[in-house]
Structure 1
């Protein structure tokens, strides 16, 4: 399956917004993504920025705060329940956007480390 190309301006915006955080980039679905520890917490997919948040009230809150936000679905029928997709234009919302990005980062850091894969 062919995935949409990441908007380079959104990738740059996300990278700038992560300044000061210990996040490392790595491609996911052929698009830029950022990891805290061993867990992905943010990425760009087409014209959307995806943030990892626990399912439930936090996801409902962010979807209410950012019109057009929805649970991330990289292709039909394959929902990633811990990720919310924000239309890229919403990420330019300054302080509110940065607070949600930080919450996503903190959530990823709260997760137990993934086990090392054997080589």
Structure 2
């Protein structure tokens, strides 16, 4: 599978949607971008798709508003959904950040 790449406009849209919060880190992920809190990714770009990680009940709500599977079509990411057209991406991204902030922090990887 060839990894889709975001455009500069996609990256700008992503960065504008991510909350300014000292806990948040944006970093590259396989040629795309991911936003993290405590080592957990809560929002990401997959080509032009902006996806968020939300609890199951909120996934149902966003899917009803037009959200779809996030990630490669042959292997979408569980617990993730794309931000549908016409929905405020900043609001969903902020909800996703608060959701993953409830997870215990991931331990930092030891360098060899």
TM range, smaller chain: 0.7 to 0.9
The structure with the greater share of residues assigned to helix is 1
Deviation, structure 1 residue 19: 4.5
The structure with the greater share of residues assigned to strand is 1
User: Cα–Cα, structure 1 residues 80 and 19, in superposed 2: closer, same or farther, change >3 Å?
Assistant: closer
Question: Whole-Å Cα distance in 1 between the matches of residues 18 and 71 of structure 2?
Answer: 24
Match of 2:40 in 1: 39
Deviation, structure 1 residue 75: 4.6
| Gaps in structure 2 of 5+ consecutive residues | none
Question: Whole-Å Cα distance in 2 between the matches of residues 37 and 115 of structure 1?
Answer: 9
Q: Residues 8-87 of structure 1 correspond to what in structure 2 (within 5 A)?
A: 8-22=8-22, 23-54=24-55, 56-65=56-65, 67=66, 69-76=67-74, 78-86=75-83
RMSD after superposition = 1.9
Say whether residues 1:99 and 2:91 are aligned partners: yes
- TM-score normalized with structure 1 length: 0.79
Match of 1:112 in 2: 104
- TM-score normalized with structure 2 length: 0.83
